[in-house]
Structure 1
Amino acid sequence: MPSLTRVEAAERAALLTVESYHIDLDLTAGDTGFRSVTTIRFRATPDSTTFVDVKPAQLTSVRLNDTTIDPATLADDRLVLTGLLAENTLTVDAEMAYSNTGEGLHRFVDPADGEAYLYAMSFLDDGPRIFASFDQPDLKAPVTLSVTAPENWLVAANGAALHPPTGGRWEFAPTVALATYFTSLIAGPYHARYDEHDGIPLGIYCRRSLAEHLDRDADEIFTVTKQCLDRFHELFDVRYPFGKYDQAFVPEFNAGAMENPGLVTIRDDYVFRSAVTDSERELRATTIAHEMAHMWFGDLVTMRWWDDLWLNESFAEYLGTRVTAEATRFTGAWTTFGLRRKGWGYAADQRPSTHPVAPDDVPDAAAGLLNFDGISYAKGASVLRQLVAWLGDETFLAGLNAHFAAHRYGNATLADLLTAMSTASGRDLSEWTELWLRRPQVNTLRAEVTVADDGTYTEVAVVQTATPEHPVLRPHRIGVGRYDTDDSGERPVAVLRERTEVDLDPALDKGRTVLTELTGRPAAAVLLLNDGDLTFAKVRLDDASAAAVPQVLPGLTDSLARAVLWTATIDAVTDGERPVSDLVALILAALPGETEVIVVEDVLKLARTLIDRYLDPERRLAALGYVTQACDRLLGTAASGGSVQLAAARGLIGASADAARLTGWLAGAGVPDGLAIDTDLRWALVGRLVVLGVAGEAEIAAELAADRSAAGEERAARCRAALPDPAAKERAWQIIVSDTSLSNRLVEANAGGFWQPEQEALTESYVERYFAEMPAAARRRTAWTADQVAKLAFPEYAVQPRTLELAAALLERDDLTPGLRRVVTDADDDLRRALLSRSAGLL
C-alpha cells in the first residue's frame, strides 16, 4: 500500500475532526485471524471526500451514515468515503489476520507450554491491521474498546476494565483523546501482578512460563516505576494523565518498548531468567523511565507529523536517562548513555544517511520510520542536555511546563516548543535551532597544547572542525578537566586537579578557542575535553595526553570521565586515526582494573567489532588473544558472583579460541568461584564452540531439549545458522531470504548467526547472493522486519573491494525499499572505513 504522505495527512486533517472510536474485537475465531468491528464518529466538511485506512484479510461490510459501501472498492488498504455530512458515523466490519512480525495484532504460541498470547502494536501505521481508522498522529480521539476472548484469558487495554468479564467479554472505559498509533491491548493467559502508588493503579504482566522470573523481580520493577512517577511529578506541573499505569512484557517484540498510554508494552527479554549484570537491570530501568517520559512527550502532547519525531524520542531519551540517574539506584545512567547511546548517535550522524535531529520535511510515514535511529534518540537527547547546560534547568523546565499547558491532549510542533522555551528564557533560540536541530553531522573538538620548559602551559586551545560536506560549527558549553596520577597510596589513582567550564563560540573565535585561564598553569598528564560529557562532539586528545591515557585511565575514579576517554580512543580507531593495536593495548592496561560493568561490556563489544572488521585473520586472532588475557585478569580481580565477573566471563567466552577450557566450563569444570553456568551462559558457550567447530547439531539439540522456551528456540536458531557446514548455511540462508512463516525473532536469529569472521571462506559465495537476493527478500516482509533482517544479514566481515563494488551496484537500482537502501548505505560506509584502515596498515 502507499505510505501516507504529509500532504495527504494535512488535507485529511483540514476536512475532519474525529469524535470517537469504538472498536469491538472477537478473538475467538481461530488461530489465523480475528473479527474487528470499528465505529468511528467524526465531523467533516459537508460534501467532501476522504479515505479511511484499513488493512483486512477480508472486508466484510462498510456503512457510512445510511449508505452501504461496496467492500470491493477497497484499494491499497484505503477505503474512499464520499458525500460526507457535517456529522458522520462509519462502521467497518472486517476479518483481520494475526501477524508474526510484531506489528498489528501479534500472535505467539509459547513453546514452553503451548499457550497462545496476543498483543497489539499499532505504531506508526500498523493500527489499521487491527481496526479501521484515520491513521495519522494529529487526528486524536477517545477510544472505547470491547473484546471477546476465550474465558480463561486475561485482557488488558489502554483504558481500565469497567467490570469483571462475563463469558469472556471485556469492556474497557473510554480513553482520553489518543493518536491512533497508541491503541493497544494484550490478550491471553497472562500472569499479572498489581500494586498502587500515589493513587495510580499499577500492573505488570508476562506469559505464564516467565511468571516465577517476573515475581522474583516484581519488587524492583514496581520500585523503579514508583520512583520515576514521583520524579516526573516533581519535574512537571501535569500529573500522570492516563489513569492506570500497566506494563506488559510481551514476546517477540520488535522494539525495546512502546509508550501506549495506560498499557506500555515492553519486550519480555527484560524478564530475566538467568543471571544478568547491573547494567542490564539499569537498561530495564531506563526503558521504564523512557516510556514513562513519553506519557508527556508523545502521549499528552503529540507531534503533528513525523518530522517532529524528536519531540517524542529525544525528550524521552534525555528524561529517561536523567530520571533514572536522579530517582533510582542506577545513579551512573549518564555513564551508560555516554558510552552506549552516544556512541550509537555518533555512528549514525557520520554516515551518508545522516539527517537533522529535526528535519525540515518527512514526506511520508515510511520515511519517518527511517529516522528512528541514533540521531533522533541519542544525538537529540545530547542536544537537549546541552540546551539545559546553556539555559539552566529551572528555565528549561518552565518552558516544558508551559508547552504542556498550551497543548495538553492535542498536537504540537517544533515551533510551538520553541515559543514556550523562548518565552521562559527570554532568549531567541532561532540560531541554536538552526545549528543544532536543522543541520546534520557531528563536530570534532581537538586539543592543541604547547608546554614551556618549566612544565606549564604556554597555550591551550580547543579547535572545532566539521566535515567538508556539512561545514557547520556550533556553540558548545563543555568542561575541560586536568588529570594527574597520584602514586602515594597503595595503588595509583588519577586526581582531578581542576575542571574548567568553557563556552566555545565559533561566531567569535572562528572555531579556535584559546583557554587563556590555563596559560601558566602546570601541565596535566591528561587534558580532557568535554569532561562531564555535556555536549555532542567527538573528542581528540593532544599527543601527550593520548600517550598518558594507559597510565591515567586505570586509576581514574570518575566513571563518566573514563567513558569519555574510552569513547575518544575507540572513535579515533574507527576513523582510522589510530591503529587497532592501540585500543588492544589500552584494554590490556586498563580493563583488568575496571569496576564499572557498563565500561567492561561496551569496551569489549565495541573493540570486538573493530577487531573483527579492521584486522586480517592472523592479526585478528592475536588481538582476540590479548582481549582474552584482559578478561582473564579481570576474572581474577572481580568480585565473586558480581556483575563485572559475569561481564568478564561473557567477554572471555566470545573471544577465546581455547575450546578445551570452554568445554570444561560447559561441563562445570574450572569455572571461576561465584560464576553460575546458567541457561543463558550455557547458550553462549555452545554458540562459541559451534563457531570453533567443536560443538554441532547434537550439542545444540541437547541444549534446546533442556531449554524448551522461546529464548531457547531463538538461541538454537542462531547456533544452527553459525554451524560451519555448507548445508546448515544454505538452510539458514533460505530462512533469511524466503521464509515468512517464522516469526520476526527467529528469522533475525538466523540472520544474526549466519556471518562469522572465522568462516570467511565458507560464506564467500553468499556475499554476492546478499546483493542479488535481498531486494526481493525485503519486499516479502513488512518494513520493520525486513530492515532488521537486511541489517543482520549484511556481509559485514567481507572487507574486500569487491563487496564495495557490489554495494555500489545495488544502490544504483531504483527498485529498493527505502529501508534496504538505508541499511546498505550505512553498512557500506562501515566497510569502507574498515578497508581504508587495512589499506593504511593501521592494524
Structure 2
Amino acid sequence: MERMSDAPTRTEPASLTQVEAEARAALISVRRYDIAVDMTGLLDGPTIECVSTIAFECAEPGASTFVDCAADIRSATLNGRDLDLSIFDAGRLPLPDLAADNVLVVASAQSDTGRSVGILRTVDPSDKLVYVWTSFEPDAARYVWACFDQPDLKAPHGFVVTAPESWTVLSNSAPDQVEPADEGTASVETPARVWTFGDTPPLSTYVVVVNAGPFVELRREVDGYDLGLYARQSLARYLDRDADELFELTRQGLAWFGGQFDQPFPQRRYDQVFVPNMGGAMENWGCVTWTDAVIYRSPPTYAQRQARASVLMHEMAHMWFGDLVTMRWWDDLWLNEAFASWAATWALVGAGTEHTDAWAGFLCALKLEGYRADMSPGTHPIRGDVPDVAQAMANFDAITYSKGQSVLKQLSAYVGDDAFVRGLQAYFRDHAWGNTRLDDLIDAVAAAAGRDLSSWTPAWLDSAGTDTIRLADGALSIVAPDGGVPRPHRFDIVSYVVRDDVLHAVATTPVESTEASVEVDLPEADLHLLNANDLTFAAVRPDATSLATLLSRAGDLPDPLSRALAGGTAWDMMVKGELGAGDVVGVLTAALVTERSPIVVESFLGMALKAAEQWAPADQVAPLLLEVASTASGLTVEPDFRMPALRALAASASTADHFEILREPADHERDLAWRVLARRAELGDYDEDAVTALEKADLDPEAWVRALAVRGAQPDAAAKDEAWSALMVDRTVPMGSSLVQVGNLFWRPTQAELLKPWTDRYLDVLPSLASGGLLAVGGLIRVLFPFAVADQEFHDRALSLAEAPGTHPAIRQNLLTGADTLRRMLAARALSS
C-alpha cells in the first residue's frame, strides 16, 4: 500500500465522458457499496475520512477499468492486493486485471470541505455550531468517497457513520442502530457515536446522502409515513412556525403521487433537511436536502410559500422520476428535471393544496425565464449531445427546467391528461429501480394514448427556439424561430366580448396544428385569447383588436392564469422591442387595481419593479418607480396583499409619504425594516446607527448579511468594495436568498457610473468559478449578472469571454443567456428614450 503523501502532484479531476461511461457500464455491474464515514474530524477541522468497499462483477475477466475518487486516497486494495497509487491521477484510480467477482476497498480523506463541491462544512455564525451536508449531482460523490460515479451503475448502499456525540446523522433511511463509538474508533479524541443504516434500494451514486450536525428535529406520523423535518438550532422557532404547513404539503404530495403513479412511496421514513449555505435542493432518496433560506425569518408571503411548496413537490416527484427510475446518461437530464417541475405544479393544483393558481405563478416567473433562455444564443435543444458531465452541468438551466416543464404540459394536452397518467403508471411499473432513455417514456405514453408520437418527439425536443403563434384575418400562422417547420401544437382560443364594460367568454376553440397556417372558425369578439390555459410553449400575438383589448383590460380577464398570460404577453413584447418598459409597467399597474389573486398580485408587482429598474432608460427609472410605489401604496390597505405590497413599496419608495406608510409596519416587521433601510441607503440616506441596532435585535443568524446588503446599496465606493469582497472574493455570503439580497442591492440602476469597475471585475472572476460546485457556479453567475448597470462594452466583453476557447460550458451557457438579455435591455432603453 502507498500513502497519498508519497504520490506525485495530481491534475484536476477529469470529466467523465459518455463513451467512457458506456464502456464501463458494459464491463461491470455493481452489487453493493459499503461506506464507512468518519465525520469526527469535521467538528473542529475540515477533514472527512471514508472507506468505500465496492463489490462488483466484471463481464470480461482480465479487463481493466477505473474507479472515481477526487479525494486523497490513503490506501486501496482490489481483491486483496495493493493497488499502485502512483498512477492515481485526474480523480481516477486504474483497476487492472479484474476478476469475474471483485471487491475494491479504498480509504480516502477530503479536507476541501468549504467550497460546496459535494460536501460543505458550515459554522453557524450565531452559535458556532457545525453542520455538514452532502449533495452529489451530477458527479460529486467522488469528492467524498470512491465510487463508479455515473447514473446507470445503480446499487444498494450501506452506510456506517461515526460522528461527534452531539450530532444527528441523516441518510437515505432510518438508522438501524446508534451506539457509542468504541474507544479509539474516532480519528480525534472526542466523544462519538456510530450510526448504522440499513441498505438503500438500488440507487445511483448521485442520490445518496449523509448529512450531520446538532439539528433540531420535528417528526410526525401521517398516513403510515414517518415524516421528519430538520434544521439548525438557530432556526428552531421558524421551523416550528412552518412545521404544520410543511407536514401537510408532504402528506398531500405523498398521497397524490402514490395514487396517481399507482405506486406508493415504498419507504416509511421521509425526511427533509434544511441546511445552511445551499443554493437549491437535492432529491436524495428519502432524505431531501434543501436550503434553509426557505425557513423564512419573517412570515412568508403567499408567493414565497408557493415557491417553497413547489420545491417540496419537485423534489418529492424525483423519488419516482429520477430515483426509482433513473436516466441512463445525462443527455436525458432534461427529462429528470422537467418531469419533476411539471409534476410539482400538477400536484399543487390537483392534490388539495391551497395553491390552485400554481400554473399562473409558474407562467409569471419560471416560464418567462424559459422563454428568455430559449431566445438567446445560449439556447439549445431540450434533448442534445452531452459528451461529458461538464456539459451536463451547463444544461441545468431554464430550458431544462421551465421549457421542459411546459413541453410535458403540452404533451399531456396533446395526448389527453388521462392517457398521459396511464403512460406514467406503466413507465414506473415496467422500469422500477432501473435505468431508461427518453424513448421508454414516450413509448409508454404513446401506447396509453394510442397515438404515434414519433414525429412529435423530435419536433419538440431536437430543435431550439420558440414558435410564435399569430392570429390575423381569421387564420393562424405558426412561425418557427429559424423559419423552418413549426412544431405541432395543441392549444385553446377563448373568445371574449365586452358587454356592460365586462369581458364575457362566448366560445372556446380547440386547435391542434401541424402546419404553418391553420384556418380557424372564430366568432366576432373583442378579444381572442391565444393559448388560453397556457397549454403550449409559444409566443402569442393576437390580432390588433384583440391585442389592444388584452393590454388595456388585462385585469378584467376571469381567471388568474388568463391574467398572467396577458402580463406575460406584454413582457414578451417588451423583450422583443415591441413595447417600451413604461408601457409594460402601465399594463401591470392597471391590472393590479382590480387583481385579487395573491400570486398574480405578487408576480405583477415584481415584474413591474424589474421593468422599471432594468428595462427603462436611466431618466425614466425614477418616474416608473414612483408609478410602482403609488400602485403598491394602494394595495397596502388590502389584508391579503398587504405584505407583498409593503415590500414592493419599500423597494420603490420615492416620497416622504411613501416612507411614512412604511414607518409603522417596519417598526414591527424586521424584514420590512431591512428593506426600508436599504432603499434609504440607495437614495443616499444611509443610517449606520439604525443598521447596527437592527442587526443586534434581529434573531436571524444571517442578520449580518442583511446589514452588509444595506451598506452595499449605498452610492459609495468603499461600501461597494466591502460587499464585493464578501460576494466574490471571500465568498462568505451564503447561497440562496442571502446571495440574491446582497446582489440585487449591489447593482442599483441609478449607480451605473460608480459601478462600472465592478462590472469588469465580475467578468474577471468568472473563470475561477469553474472548479466550484454546481449550485454555487450557477447561482453566482446568474444572480450577480449586472443587468441594471451594464453597457454595450460589457456586453461585448461578456460575449467574447463566452466564446473563448476553454471556457467552462456552464459559464459559457450562463454568459450567453445573460448577454442576450442585456442586449435586449439596451435596445428597450433606447426604444423608450
How does the TM-score come out when normalised to structure 1? Answer: 0.91
Q: Secondary structure at the match of 1:93?
A: strand
Which of the residues 40, 45, 50 maps onto 2:65?
A: 50
Which of the residues 352, 355, 359 maps onto 1:330?
A: 355
Q: 1:226 to 1:740 in 2, by over 3 A?
A: closer
Which of the residues 351, 375, 378 maps onto 2:402?
A: 378
| 1:645 equivalent in structure 2 | 642
How far 1:196 moved relative to its partner? Answer: 2.3
How far 1:166 moved relative to its partner? Answer: 3.0
Q: Distance in 1 between matches of 2:103 and 2:432?
A: 27
Q: Distance in 2 between matches of 1:708 and 1:583?
A: 39
| 2:520 equivalent in structure 1 | 515
Matched, 1:93 2:133: no
Q: Distance in 2 between matches of 1:112 and 1:662?
A: 34
Q: Distance in 1 between matches of 2:249 and 2:579?
A: 41
Deviations 1:379-406 (A, max 9, x none): 1121111111121222212221221222
Which of the residues 808, 817, 822 maps onto 2:813?
A: 822
Matched, 1:165 2:179: yes
Q: Distance in 1 between matches of 2:212 and 2:538?
A: 45
Matched, 1:237 2:233: no
| 1:484 equivalent in structure 2 | 497
Q: Distance in 1 between matches of 2:659 and 2:357?
A: 36
| 2:779 equivalent in structure 1 | 788
Is the contact made by 1:160 and 1:244 (CA closer than 8 Å) also made in structure 2? Answer: yes
How far 1:52 moved relative to its partner? Answer: 1.0
| 1:107 equivalent in structure 2 | 121
Deviations 1:319-360 (A, max 9, x none): 11111111112111111122222112111111111111222x
| 2:488 equivalent in structure 1 | 475
Kindly provide the amino acid, as one letter, of the partner of residue 530 in structure 2: L
Matched, 1:272 2:296: yes
For the aligned residue pairs, the C-alpha RMSD in angstroms reads: 2.2
After superposition, residues 419-818 of structure 1 pair within 5 angstroms as 419-449=443-473, 460-468=474-482, 471-487=484-500, 493-506=502-515, 511-516=516-521, 518=522, 521=523, 523-549=524-550, 551-636=552-637, 638-639=638-639, 642=640, 644-658=641-655, 660=656, 664=660, 668-669=663-664, 671=665, 677-707=668-698, 709-739=700-730, 744=735, 750-771=742-763, 773-779=764-770, 781-818=772-809
Q: Distance in 1 between matches of 2:15 and 2:534?
A: 39
Is the contact made by 2:589 and 2:608 (CA closer than 8 Å) also made in structure 1? Answer: no
Q: Secondary structure at the match of 2:694?
A: helix
| 2:333 equivalent in structure 1 | 309
Which stretch of structure 1 is more off in the superposition, 780-789 or 152-161?
780-789
Q: Distance in 2 between matches of 1:200 and 1:533?
A: 35
For structure 1, the 5+ residue unaligned runs are: 450-459
Kindly provide the amino acid, as one letter, of the partner of residue 257 in structure 2: F
How far 1:735 moved relative to its partner? Answer: 4.1
Q: Distance in 2 between matches of 1:748 and 1:592?
A: 29
Q: Secondary structure at the match of 1:85?
A: coil
Q: Secondary structure at the match of 2:455?
A: helix
| 1:258 equivalent in structure 2 | 282
Q: Secondary structure at the match of 1:309?
A: helix
Q: Distance in 2 between matches of 1:777 and 1:698?
A: 37
Q: 1:152 to 1:71 in 2, by over 3 A?
A: same
How far 1:418 moved relative to its partner? Answer: 2.1
How far 1:239 moved relative to its partner? Answer: 1.8
After superposition, residues 129-140 of structure 1 pair within 5 angstroms as 129-140=143-154
| 1:456 equivalent in structure 2 | none
How far 1:664 moved relative to its partner? Answer: 4.7
| 1:153 equivalent in structure 2 | 167
Which of the residues 423, 427, 436 maps onto 1:412?
A: 436
Q: Secondary structure at the match of 2:511?
A: strand
Kindly provide the amino acid, as one letter, of the partner of residue 8 in structure 1: E
| 1:837 equivalent in structure 2 | 828
Q: Distance in 2 between matches of 1:317 and 1:310?
A: 10
Q: 1:653 to 1:415 in 2, by over 3 A?
A: same
Which of the residues 7, 14, 25 maps onto 1:2?
A: 14
Q: Distance in 2 between matches of 1:786 and 1:330?
A: 31
Q: 1:471 to 1:696 in 2, by over 3 A?
A: farther
Deviations 1:251-300 (A, max 9, x none): 11122x21111101121122223122122222222222111111110000
Q: 1:555 to 1:663 in 2, by over 3 A?
A: closer
Q: Secondary structure at the match of 2:57?
A: strand
Q: Distance in 2 between matches of 1:531 and 1:809?
A: 41
| 1:141 equivalent in structure 2 | 155
| 2:216 equivalent in structure 1 | 191
Percent sequence identity is 37
Q: 1:261 to 1:525 in 2, by over 3 A?
A: same
Matched, 1:176 2:201: yes
Q: Distance in 2 between matches of 1:266 and 1:713?
A: 22
Q: 1:75 to 1:604 in 2, by over 3 A?
A: same
Q: 1:653 to 1:109 in 2, by over 3 A?
A: same
Q: 1:362 to 1:730 in 2, by over 3 A?
A: same
For structure 2, the 5+ residue unaligned runs are: 1-12, 182-192
Is the contact made by 1:625 and 1:655 (CA closer than 8 Å) also made in structure 2? Answer: yes
Q: Distance in 2 between matches of 1:776 and 1:389?
A: 43
Q: 1:741 to 1:648 in 2, by over 3 A?
A: closer
Q: 1:742 to 1:836 in 2, by over 3 A?
A: closer
Q: Distance in 2 between matches of 1:561 and 1:513?
A: 23
Q: Secondary structure at the match of 1:481?
A: strand
How far 1:84 moved relative to its partner? Answer: 1.1
Q: Distance in 2 between matches of 1:545 and 1:436?
A: 28
How far 1:739 moved relative to its partner? Answer: 2.5
Is the contact made by 2:756 and 2:790 (CA closer than 8 Å) also made in structure 1? Answer: no
